[in-house]
Structures are given as structure tokens and as C-alpha cells.
């Protein structure tokens, strides 16, 4: 019998199924079906990627010595086992739905004292955003190499772009984000203390800068550049974004 602590969650499989249903609908000639398909692709695919992001952290920690992630259910890909399902899934989905930046999901709790080395600690932090990057590259490769209906290509391209944005955002060395978690084990005690104090508010300041200052233009310029490097189709991405945001 498969251990329930490692069996894939039916809820995660439901998210995958919803994304797959969106892929089917996006191939229809009917504009309403196609729009509904793109919405399902983006929301279902984004929720699925949030689960995979956290799974990346957890499975790397498990291999690095933290066996507690199995008992906590993190290896099941079930978002209900995250620290806060609202912050992990609902809020990021809401931000994507209203056309905002794709917020990182809620973190899994890692027992850092159980990890064998500082390199493993860094790898645990990097595993999440790298998962997003791999997903983005895979999606762009599928769109580029597999003939498909325009609606399907547009939805998958926009989802791929969101993965690239998530990677760029999460890799920043800001307390509270994964990029900082990767360098934190190598910092001095004083620097780590400052990071702990800044962790609750630093991401909020970053998001405000992205949304309301020229920092946002720079952030998206880097994201578009990386998207182009990995082979993203900007024209299809814009079509997917406009179709997804059909009410605007």
C-alpha cells in the first residue's frame, strides 16, 4: 500500500484535470469556449505550478536530511498542507486573475537544522523558483514544437510567461523571497538578524516599487528578456493575456 504521506493528492490531480480541460476548450472555434479554456489553463496551470514550486522545496529538503516534510504531507502536492492555503493558493490566484504580478505562494516549513550542509540549504531555496523556470521552458518548447490551435498556444504561452515572471521575482535576494533564502546560510549572524526583521515587510515594499515606480518597468524588461531567451512567443503571450483578461 502506498504511504499516504507520499501519495499524490486528489486535489492536485483535480487541478491538473482542470488545466487539461482548459486545453481542450481552448481548441474550440467558439469564442466563449475558447476564452473559458484560456482562463482554465491560466488559473488551473498557475495553481498547479504553485503546488510544484512548494514540492520542489520539500523534496529537496527531504533528500537533504529533513524527513519531517514527509510527515507534514508536503510530498503529496496537496496545497492544504501549506502553512496557509489562502496565502499559498487563493491570494496568488486572485492577483493573477486581476492582472497583477504572480505572487509567490506560501512557504513550506523546513527544519534547517536537519539539513546536512549550507549548500543543501541554498539548494532547498532555489528549488522552488527553478521549478517555475523549468515549467516555463517546457511550456515554451511545447508551443514552439507542437502544432496547436491559436487559443491553446496563447493560453500556454501566457502561462509560460507567468512562470518566468515568478522565477525572476522569487530569485531576487530580498528577505522573504527564495533568492534571499539561497544566500542566507552564507551571511554573518548580524546580517541574518537584519534579514529576519525585514522578512515580514521587505516583499511588500518590493511589490509596491514594482507596481508604482520605474522599478516595475525594469522588472518586466528583465522578465521579457528572459522569456525571449527561453524561446517564448511574445505575440501569443499578449493574445493569451488579453483573452484571459476578457473583462478589461
Helix, strand, or coil (residue 161): helix
**Among the options 54, 121, 184, 235, which is catalytic?**
54
CB 151 within 8 A of CB 37: yes
DSSP string, 213-248: SHHHHHHHHHHHHHHHHTT--HHHHHHHHHHHTTT-
CB 1 within 8 A of CB 66: no
For residue 141 the three cell numbers come to 518548447
Helix, strand, or coil (residue 141): helix
For residue 175, count CB atoms less than 10 angstroms from its CB and return exposed for 0-12, middle for 13-18, buried for 19 or more. buried
Is 54 known to be catalytic? yes
CB 178 within 8 A of CB 103: no
CB 165 within 8 A of CB 132: no
CA distances from 172 to 46, 129, 222 (A): 20, 10, 12
Gyration radius of the chain's alpha carbons: 18
- In sign, the C-alpha dihedral spanning 103, 130, 112, 110 is positive
Catalytic residues: 54
Amino acid at each position: 500500500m502506498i504511504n499516504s504521506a507520499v501519495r499524490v493528492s486528489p486535489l492536485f490531480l483535480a487541478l491538473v484535470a482542470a488545466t487539461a480541460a482548459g486545453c481542450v476548450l481552448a481548441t474550440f472555434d467558439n469564442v466563449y469556449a475558447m476564452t473559458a479554456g484560456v482562463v482554465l489553463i491560466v488559473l488551473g496551470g498557475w495553481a498547479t505550478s504553485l503546488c510544484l514550486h512548494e514540492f520542489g522545496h520539500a523534496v529537496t529538503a527531504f533528500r537533504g536530511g529533513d524527513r519531517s516534510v514527509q510527515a507534514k504531507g508536503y510530498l503529496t502536492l496537496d496545497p492544504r498542507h501549506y502553512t496557509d492555503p489562502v496565502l499559498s493558493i487563493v491570494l496568488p490566484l486572485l492577483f493573477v486573475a486581476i492582472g497583477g504580478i504572480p505572487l509567490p505562494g506560501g512557504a513550506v516549513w523546513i527544519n534547517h537544522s536537519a539539513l546536512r550542509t549550507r549548500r543543501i540549504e541554498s539548494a532547498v531555496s532555489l528549488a522552488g523558483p527553478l521549478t517555475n523556470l523549468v515549467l516555463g521552458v517546457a511550456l515554451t518548447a511545447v508551443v514552439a514544437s507542437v502544432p496547436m490551435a491559436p487559443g491553446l498556444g496563447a493560453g500556454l504561452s501566457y502561462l509560460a510567461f507567468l512562470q518566468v515572471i515568478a522565477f525572476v521575482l522569487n530569485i531576487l535576494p530580498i528577505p522573504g523571497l527564495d533568492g534571499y533564502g539561497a544566500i542566507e546560510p552564507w551571511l554573518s549572524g548580524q546580517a541574518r538578524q537584519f534579514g529576519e526583521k525585514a522578512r515580514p515587510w521587505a516583499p511588500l515594499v518590493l511589490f509596491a516599487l514594482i507596481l508604482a515606480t520605474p522599478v516595475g518597468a525594469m522588472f518586466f524588461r528583465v522578465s521579457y528578456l528572459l522569456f525571449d531567451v527561453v524561446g517564448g512567443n511574445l505575440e501569443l503571450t499578449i493574445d493569451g493575456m488579453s483573452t484571459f483578461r476578457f473583462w478589461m
